[in-house]
């Protein structure tokens, strides 16, 4: 039995994102699994998905939203969950088998970040074992004021901390791709050719805009970043 966890808080993403993610996981993961959503509002989340309240942060957060709550997955205990766990952001799509994400030998696996200014790794997809690194959260609580000045967001802190522990590993570069970086085209090619899915992609992440529903219709959120509709996304995002 393995775990797949996501988190949803606030109003940016609705229950439909969680439901779609669950559906995609069940289509692409053959291993027996528990699918869990940690959330502040379980309204609309479909049956078959286990929901738990997001645990309380050990300190009072302040300032811009930086994803710090994701660090709660590294608590010493997390409800009754045990064993190998794959964390997935709710705004990604799954395009291939997830089984291989549980096979590499190592401690914590993350995406290798594509731009160094964002830190070592991207935590849209990470694998860890429940309860093995409570020091991640303990250190964060003790040194929050320093950490938030040194690191822009949760993933930069987490990856730096785990690297110092010798616990950080990276996925095969072809498994997890960025829609913005690997599917979209630069001008003027973007005027004529729709975004394309790279071969052997298992997971496609969407950071910033466009989100999956926007990419399907070709809405990018930036006037200077044109993209034709990527209608193929609808085949996976359901």
77 and 18 in one domain?
A: yes
CATH of the domain at 13: 3.90.550.10
148 and 42 in one domain?
A: yes
3-state secondary structure of 164: helix
What is the per-residue pLDDT across 2-44, written as a single tens digit (0 to 9) for each?
999 999 999 999 999 999 999 999 999 999 999 999 999 999 9
Q: How many domains does the chain have?
A: 2
Residue 53, token pair as written in the block = 């309240």
159 and 60 in one domain?
A: yes
180 and 162 in one domain?
A: no
Which residue, of 148, 170, 192, is where some domain finishes? 170
118 and 210 in one domain?
A: no
Q: What is the dihedral of CA 213, 214, 215, 217, to 10 degrees?
A: 90
226 and 121 in one domain?
A: no
Taking the whole predicted model, whether its pTM rises above 0.85 is answered as yes
18 and 130 in one domain?
A: yes
Rounded Cα distance between 214 and 200, Å, is 23
181 and 133 in one domain?
A: no
What is the per-residue pLDDT across 182-226, written as a single tens digit (0 to 9) for each?
999 999 999 999 999 999 999 999 988 999 999 999 999 888 889
163 and 189 in one domain?
A: no
**Could you list the residue range(s) of the whole structural domain that residue 53 is in?**
2-170
> Strands (DSSP E) along 98-167, which ranges?
108-112, 121-129
């Amino acid at each position: 039995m393995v775990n797949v966890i996501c988190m949803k808080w606030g109003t940016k993403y609705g229950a439909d994102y969680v439901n779609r993610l669950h559906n995609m996981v069940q289509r692409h993961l053959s291993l027996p699994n528990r699918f869990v959503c940690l959330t502040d509002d379980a309204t609309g989340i479909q049956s078959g998905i286990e929901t738990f309240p997001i645990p309380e942060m050990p300190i009072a957060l302040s300032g811009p939203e930086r994803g710090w709550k994701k660090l709660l997955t590294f608590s010493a205990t997390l409800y009754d969950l045990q064993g190998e766990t794959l964390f997935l952001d709710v705004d990604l799509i799954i395009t291939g088998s997830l089984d291989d994400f549980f096979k590499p030998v190592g401690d914590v696996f993350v995406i290798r970040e594509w731009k160094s200014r964002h830190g070592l790794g991207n935590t849209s997809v990470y694998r860890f074992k429940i309860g093995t690194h409570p020091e991640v959260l303990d250190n964060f609580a003790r040194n929050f004021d320093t950490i938030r000045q040194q690191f822009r967001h949760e993933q930069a802190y987490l990856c730096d901390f785990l690297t110092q522990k010798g616990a950080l590993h990276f996925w095969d570069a072809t498994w997890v791709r960025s829609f913005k970086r690997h599917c979209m085209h630069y001008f003027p090619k973007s005027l004529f050719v729709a975004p394309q899915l790279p071969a052997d992609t298992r997971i496609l992440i969407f950071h910033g805009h466009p989100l999956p529903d926007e990419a399907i219709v070709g809405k990018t959120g930036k006037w200077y970043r044109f993209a034709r509709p990527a209608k193929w996304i609808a085949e996976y995002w359901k």
